[in-house]
Amino acid sequence: MKTLLSNELLENIGRQSCPQRELVTRRDIKKYAVAVGALQSKYVEGDQAPPLFHIALFWDVVGLNTLSTDGLSKDPLLPKFPLSRAMAGGSRIDYIHDIYPGDWLTATRTLTNIYEKKGHSGPLIFYEVDMEIINDAGELVIKEKKTSILR
């Protein structure tokens, strides 16, 4: 099988984002909790962030006209791939510390793998991005591995 993955594309493995620092607010926790139905009082009152809160915390705020047809914003960490239709391939999230209002969190993302598989309807490109989130004390708060699939 002819590969879609050039050496130039594979050289992007190990590429890292600039650290992104965000403040966790009680209001953001409350809004997220209500939006996802995390109705335990500690979440709805904004005393502690519910699971998955960190994902939206680090999203870029962009105009609708800049989104792809899949509804995604361009990720500056990723190279230009020869396939463009994106699908979720799974996530593994390790929660080490809880998140509270007033926490300053810093996320760094690393492109850790790119590989190809043959799918039922053609080639698929998989890529993996690891994200580590630390607090201002330098403690690891969350470690996440996200796999995405392109077809």
User: Which domains, and CATH codes, for the chain?
Assistant: 7-150 (3.10.129.10)
Counting beta carbons within 10 angstroms of the beta carbon of residue 6, is it exposed (0 to 12), middle (13 to 18) or buried (19 or more)? exposed
Rounded Cα gap, residues 68 and 87, in angstroms: 13
Average pLDDT (85-101) is 95
| Beta-ladder partners of 147 | 90, 128
pTM above 0.75, yes or no: yes
The per-residue pLDDT for range 4-58, each reduced to its tens digit, is: 999 999 999 999 999 999 999 999 999 999 999 999 999 999 999 999 999 989 9
Amino acid at 26: R
Rounded Cα gap, residues 100 and 104, in angstroms: 9
> What is residue 92's predicted lDDT score, i.e. its pLDDT?
98
